[in-house]
Amino acid sequence: MSSLRREPTTGEWVLMAPHRRRRSATGPHCPLCPDAPHEAAEIPGGAYDVAVFDNRYPALGGPAGPGPAQVLGTLADAPAPGRCEVIAYSGDHHTPLARLPRSRVRTVIEAWADRTRELNRLDGVAQVVCFENGGAEAGASLDHPHGQIYAYPWIPDRFARMQETARQARLRGVDCLFCAVLDTEERAGSRIVTRSAHWSAFVPFAARWPFEVHLYARRHVPDLAALTEEEREDLAGVYRSVLRRFETVADRPLPYMAVWVQAPARDGRELAHLRAQVFSDHWGSGAVKRMAAGELGAGAFVSETEPERAAEALRGAAVRI
């Protein structure tokens, strides 16, 4: 079972999940393929479009409990309730999300929205996060295209800082910080990668990674579950377009990470604005942004990218849809 421990000097919670070292990895039989042997299969029943199931080695899922269970001096630990789910994008082992037909990407979006809605209803869930590690170099333990959905019992620290920054901006008279960011980027134009009726994708002004794209809903909307039919249909094309650019912008498809930033399950939902962050620590073959001691130890990130040139490269990337 997982547990939470608080780092006393920063106040950050750390998930302790040593059992995850035993989780499934790429082997002779893929557990996400519909033709996997019975003893290896995670998804029984044959061919499928999209499947969602509980992670067998979850980072969350301890017994529920209110607040820290034990406090000893500066040390505090707590249960780690919540949910960890796996979403397999397709029964096809060799087709990543970027290469699925638009209609099938729409099905994945529907699954994200459904799980966000249902998990937000659970007692003790504070934030639902849909994310993907795209490729082994980005941390995927299985080759089969898939992502994960976590229902956290607390708002993760980075998201909590975003919420607090948005709250402070509202006190200064900025109704939605993220709407203001989107308006600024669309007016500037130099970092825009692609834009549609309902979505805008851009390289952020203070981009950290060699290639990084933020995809914003152009309407102020809290989460995936709140999207209209038109917004979901539009998203299927735009999100696939963004992922395709990560395949073609360099001399090889780039490993990437993608995370959807949604509103908390309960308090502060009015401050949130739905967006995705897609980024890669690779420039291309053999060229990787390595986190150094100052970044990992002090938290002072050093960017070695030029956001405007990265946006230009992503705009020019071949997207054959």
Q: What percent of the chain has pLDDT over 90?
A: 76
Average pLDDT over residues 13-41: 80
Q: What integer pLDDT is reported at residue 14 of this predicted model? A: 92
Higher pLDDT, 70 or 218: 218
Q: What integer pLDDT is reported at residue 42 of this predicted model? A: 86
Q: Which CATH number fits domain 18-57+82-316: 3.30.9.10, 3.30.710.10, 3.30.428.10, 3.40.50.720?
A: 3.30.428.10
Per-residue CA distances from 304 to 15, 149, 241, 287 (Å): 30, 31, 25, 12
Contact between 257 and 148 (Cβ < 8 Å): no
Enclosing H/E stretch for 5:
strand 3-6
Please report how many Cα atoms fall inside a 13 Å half-sphere around the Cα of residue 240, on the Cβ side: 25
Across 61-75, 155-169, 238-252, 283-297, least confident range: 61-75
What DSSP assignment string belongs to 206-232? T--SSEEEEEEESS---SGGG--HHHH
Task: Return the beta strands (E) in 196-295 as ranges.
Answer: 199-202, 211-217, 256-261, 275-280, 282-284, 287-288
Average pLDDT over residues 15-28: 77
Question: Does residue 320 register a pLDDT over 70?
Answer: no
Q: What integer pLDDT is reported at residue 52 of this predicted model? A: 96
Question: Does residue 188 register a pLDDT over 60?
Answer: yes
CB < 8 Å & 24+ apart, contacts of 247-253: 247/98, 248/317, 248/318, 248/319, 249/211, 249/313, 249/314, 249/317, 250/211, 250/282, 250/283, 250/284, 250/285, 251/284, 251/285, 252/284, 252/285, 253/135
Q: What percent of the chain has pLDDT over 70?
A: 95
- What average pLDDT is seen over the chain? 92
Active site residues: 146
Residue type, 123: D
Q: What integer pLDDT is reported at residue 243 of this predicted model? A: 97
pLDDT confidence bin for 62, thresholds 50/70/90: low
Whole-angstrom distance, CA of residue 79 vs CA of residue 99 = 40
Question: Who contacts 254 (Cβ-Cβ below 8 Å, separation ≥6)?
Answer: 211, 246, 247, 280, 282, 284
pLDDT confidence bin for 321, thresholds 50/70/90: low
Q: What is the pTM of this model?
A: 0.93
Q: What integer pLDDT is reported at residue 63 of this predicted model? A: 60
pLDDT in tens, 118-147: 999 999 999 999 999 998 888 888 899 999
Question: Does residue 286 register a pLDDT over 60?
Answer: yes
Average pLDDT over residues 220-234: 98
Handedness of CA 298, 299, 305, 306 (dihedral sign): negative
Q: What integer pLDDT is reported at residue 72 of this predicted model? A: 76
